[in-house]
Chain A
Amino acid sequence: AQSVTQPDIHITVSEGASLELRCNYSYGATPYLFWYVQSPGQGLQLLLKYFSGDTLVQGIKGFEAEFKRSQSSFNLRKPSVHWSDAAEYFCAVVPNNNAGNMLTFGGGTRLMVKP
């Protein structure tokens, strides 16, 4: 079955430490891939997206993600976490045969940042 999985429900990191949030997908063909962030009481904000080409994608707020076809993964990284990065992060996909471009989301990873 087609799915998007974020294995980590909660992650806690210290401010200034590096961060990696995992995302795996299960689709016949590589879908379009996205990372969104949701701060408390806020809507979803797009961090970055991957359609094709260079497998390392740069996004906003200092985030990057790497697409690895062999592992069906699209992990989100940040070299140094700031307290303001505490939020919930969602990986999402759009199958590339999806005419309406509806997003299918993973379950989310809640990031907590220790001072």
Chain B
Amino acid sequence: GAGVSQSPSNKVTEKGKDVELRCDPISGHTALYWYRQSLGQGLEFLIYFQGNSAPDKSGLPSDRFSAERTGGSVSTLTIQRTQQEDSAVYLCASGTTSGYYNEQFFGPGTRLTVL
């Protein structure tokens, strides 16, 4: 079956512009996660969805970052007024309960470059 897909695979933008990153999770997965991978900070959690609600947004680095999930499926991560420090690979994962843990399956990521 299809895995987690993300689009675009690469995005180059100018400082100050808004960007939207999309994640299509594995069908039927109720949990969805966004992580960011950057040279300076490594891999870090951003936000977690269970269904359409986001019980944990603690990893979002600033109020320029927001995310939504509709229909319990597709999620969009939006970064407003992008800054150069937002340059990173943004990874999405979807999860299904395996015993007492949500096993997470990762997409290939979106590489964001802010010029």
Q: Which residues of A pack against B, CB within 8 Å?
A: 32, 36, 41-46, 49, 51, 90, 92, 94, 99-108
Contacts and interface: CB of A to CB of B under 8 A. Distances in A.
B4 A100 contact: no
A45 B91 CA distance: 12
A102 B45 contact: yes
Interface stretch (B11-19, B60-68, B75-83, B97-105): B97-105
A-B pairs, 4 with minimum CB distance: A43-B106, A105-B43, A44-B106, A101-B102
Contact of B43 (A45, A49, A90): A90
Contacts of B45: 102-104
18 contacts: A32-B101, A36-B106, A41-B108, A43-B4, A43-B107, A43-B108, A44-B91, A92-B43, A94-B101, A100-B48, A100-B55, A101-B101, A102-B59, A103-B35, A103-B104, A104-B45, A105-B43, A108-B42
Contact of B42 (A42, A46, A101, A105): A105
B4 to A, nearest CB: 7
Contacts, number: 54
Contacts of B88: none
SS class, residues of chain B in contact with chain A: strand
A1 to B, nearest CB: 15
B50 A100 contact: yes
Q: Which of B50, B56, B101 has the most CB of A within 10 A?
A: B101
A90 B106 CA distance: 13
Contact of B106 (A45, A49, A99, A107): A45
